[in-house]
Amino acid sequence: MRIALFITCVNDLMFPDTGRAVVRLLERLGHTVEFPDEQTCCGQMHANTGYRDEALPLVRRFAETFAAYEAVVAPSGSCVAMVRESYPSLWPQAADVASRTYELSELLVDVLGVTDVGAEFPHRVTYHPTCHGLRLLRLGDRPLRLLRAVKGLDLVELPGAEECCGFGGTFAVKNPGVSGAMLADKCAAILGTDAEYVAAVDNSCLVHIGGGLSRHGAPVRAIHYAKILASGEGVR
């Protein structure tokens, strides 16, 4: 299948290793990944902060860039939620490409029909279901099914998993006190699991959670689940 990767601007700059993991994973599964060079940002930050006019050119740009592809995949629950849930009302012509845009676990489980991606990751991992993955995309247990199939992975349940970590995009800087209080509770729940890694479908939540854990010198590391799924035999 001809799959276009939408890397997202945050991953492009800050977490290219997540993008490399998605490419490795999909190619290992026998698919061709393309990277349309014209892509930039989905406009989520603009739209959610109240800058609809500034978001619109980015919406149109996304729709034009990805129009020709059978499937678009992005390693970010919130960017995919922006495209699928908000694009149709922002710019109706984007509805078609929006309906073919998938978060990684949707592409793997629903479109490609795989849950065991042949990965190996011998570590204790807990999973934080990000709000937009959970309540906008309704990813359900798709990411967990993928993680459970990973060889050697010890998946531990996160107490209060469905509670927001406190990131919320510009909320983190507009309401730093409340965001920090929510983060502290999330970090305490993660530490209580004795996991080595906390995994999620979104690096923006993970940079917040990971930054909180690192501030307190906690031994737990935040990791995008694509990197876990791409790990194992024959992987650089």
Partner 1 sequence: MTGTGHIVAPRPFPAMARPELADTQLRANLRRATHTIRDKRLRVVSEVDDWEELRVAGAAIKDDVLARLPQLLAQFEAAATAAGATVHWAREATEACAIVTDLVRETGSHEVVKVKSIATQEIALNEALAEAGIDAVETDLAELIVQLADDTPSHILVPAIHYNRSQIRDIFARKMAGVDLSELTDDPPALAEAARRHLRAKFLSARVGISGANFAIAETGTLVVVESEGNGRMCLTLPETLISVVGIEKLLPTFADLRVFLQLLPRSSTGERMNPYTSMWTGVTPGDGPQRVHIVLLDNGRTDTLADRVGRQALRCIRCSACLNVCPVYERVGGHAYGSVYPGPIGAILSPQLTGQDAGANRSLPYASTLCGACFDACPVRINIPEVLVHLRQSGPHPPGERAAMRAASWVMRDRRRYAAALRAARRGTAPLRFATRKRGSIVRHLPWPLSAWTSSRNAPLPPRQTFREWWALR
Residues forming contacts to partner 1 in the complex (CB under 8 A) are 7, 9, 11-14, 16-17, 19-20, 35, 37-41, 43, 45-52, 54-55, 57-58, 61, 131-132, 134-136, 162-164, 166-184, 207-208, 210-212, 214-215
Angle between helices 203-215 and 176-191 (to 10 degrees): 80
> Which residue, 210 or 232, has its beta carbon nearer to partner 1?
210
Amino acid at residue number 2: R
CB of 11 to partner 1, least distance (A): 6
Dist CA 37 CA 190 (whole Å): 38
CA 87 to the chain's CA centroid: 18
> Which residue, 183 or 195, has its beta carbon nearer to partner 1?
183
Whether residue 212 contacts residue 186, with contact meaning beta carbons closer than 8 Å, is answered with yes
Burial class (CB in 10 A: 0-12, 13-18, 19+), 79: buried
Dist CA 148 CA 96 (whole Å): 33
> Which residue, 112 or 205, has its beta carbon nearer to partner 1?
205
DSSP state for residue 157 in the 8-state scheme: P
**Residue 112: closest CA among 5, 30, 7:** 30
CB of 149 to partner 1, least distance (A): 26
CB of 182 to partner 1, least distance (A): 5
CB of 210 to partner 1, least distance (A): 8
CB of 124 to partner 1, least distance (A): 22
> Which residue, 153 or 206, has its beta carbon nearer to partner 1?
206
Residues 6+ apart with CB under 8 A from 106: 80, 137, 139, 142
Q: Supply 129's token pair.
A: 């279901």
> Which residue, 90 or 229, has its beta carbon nearer to partner 1?
90
CB of 27 to partner 1, least distance (A): 11
Dist CA 55 CA 43 (whole Å): 5
> Which residue, 107 or 213, has its beta carbon nearer to partner 1?
213
